Amino acid sequence: MKFCSVCGQSVELTIPAGDNRPRHCCAHCGTIHYQNPRMVIGTIPVWGDRVLLCRRAIEPRYGFWTLPAGFMENGETTAEGAARETMEEAGARIELGDAFSMVDVPQAEQVHLFFRATMLDDRLDPGPESLEVRLFTEESIPWDSIAFGTVTRTLRWFFEDRSAGEFRMHTGEVRYRPRD
């Protein structure tokens, strides 16, 4: 951030009085610009014994597989965002279940939240952010082509819980070294 969105003057990265971390601050109008993590919301849509995955038509990770997910929008709940992203990316109609996993991604300034979901039918219609959408059995998941660590971790937890016959909420974090 270079300029204040309130008055247009230059901002500087400094620790405001009473705070403990650097923030973009405007010396002209006094506005402190807080930047907080973004929520990525998605689902684990299931049809029978298969899970729905989307092959990405956008960067990052173009051509890799992921669960339907994306950034939460202002004015919507996490549940609404998860259902919207599933419809936008896969054209899948779902019945939303419980929250299943929440994974912190500090380096990307994100929190990823996935809900379990049951597909209402097997009709799929890839949106503009998906090259294709497909249903996979656990054995046919393209593990080497999964786009994100949060998705790999969520899928592994899902299959472990399904095998055990009991689903629970999972939390964790994915840390990575930024690419040079």
Please state the rounded mean pLDDT for residues 163-180: 87
- Give residue-wise pLDDT tens across range 72-112: 999 999 999 999 999 999 999 999 999 999 999 999 999 99
Flag whether pLDDT at 26 surpasses 70.
yes
Flag whether pLDDT at 51 surpasses 90.
yes
140 and 99 within one domain: yes
- Looking at the chain, the whole-number percentage of residues with pLDDT higher than 90 is 96
Flag whether 180 is in a domain.
Answer: no
22 and 69 within one domain: no
CATH number, domain containing residue 66:
3.90.79.10
50 and 117 within one domain: yes
Give the Cα-Cα-Cα angle 20, 24, 28 (nearest 5 degrees).
115
113 and 165 within one domain: yes
Flag whether 178 is in a domain.
Answer: no
Q: Cα torsion for 43, 45, 50, 52, to the nearest 10°?
A: -70
Flag whether 128 is in a domain.
Answer: yes
118 and 57 within one domain: yes
152 and 105 within one domain: yes
Flag whether 179 is in a domain.
Answer: no
Please state the rounded mean pLDDT for residues 18-33: 95
DSSP 61: S
The model carries a pTM of 0.89
Greatest C-alpha distance within the chain: 60
Q: Are 46 and 52 in contact (CB under 8 A)?
A: yes
Q: Are strands 38-47 and 110-119 parallel, antiparallel or unpaired?
A: parallel
Element at 9 (helix H, strand E): none
51 and 4 within one domain: no
Which is nearest to 79 in space by CA: 116, 48, 38, 50? 116
**Cα within 13 Å of Cα(108), Cβ side:** 19
- Give residue-wise pLDDT tens across range 2-17: 999 999 999 999 999 9
Flag whether pLDDT at 177 surpasses 80.
no
Flag whether pLDDT at 180 surpasses 60.
no
Flag whether 23 is in a domain.
Answer: yes
Flag whether pLDDT at 164 surpasses 80.
yes
Please state the rounded mean pLDDT for residues 29-42: 95
Rg, Å, the chain Cα set: 19
Check residues 177 and 98 and name the one with the higher pLDDT: 98
